[in-house]
Amino acid sequence: MKPEILEEQPMNMAEVYAELKHIKKRDEELSFRANKTYDYLGQLDLLSPKDAQKLYKELDALKVPRLKPLHMAKIIDLLPKTVDELKIILQGYTLTINKDNSKRIVDTVVKFI
């Protein structure tokens, strides 16, 4: 029987790490790939899942046009400190954000650093 995907939702690295922690506690062991990911994420300086969720809600509340959950997850992962860093993060997507909205996003992110 093939599993059916009901819904896809982007996760930031803090959420992935928390989920892997939960799975490791539940199953007592992770698969090879999951264990590598867990070790890698453990070395990074990530926001706590609670702060990541709070930042996501604040970014969503900004109501920036065309800014999708995928973009917000990437912003939370990389925490840009300047408008230029934000531009670099988002240049991989077909997304343009004006200077005012970029500044608002960066100001929101800086509160969590």
Domains of the chain: 13-43 (no CATH), 49-110 (1.10.150)
Those residues whose C-beta lies under 8 Å from the C-beta of residue 33, and which sit 6 or more positions away, are none
For the segment 62-104, what is each residue's pLDDT rounded down to a tens digit? 999 999 999 999 999 999 999 999 999 999 999 989 999 999 9
For the segment 23-45, what is each residue's pLDDT rounded down to a tens digit? 999 999 999 999 999 999 999 99
* pLDDT higher than 90, residue 1: no
Q: How high is the pLDDT of residue 3?
A: 85
Q: How high is the pLDDT of residue 66?
A: 93
111 three-class SS: coil
Q: How high is the pLDDT of residue 2?
A: 86
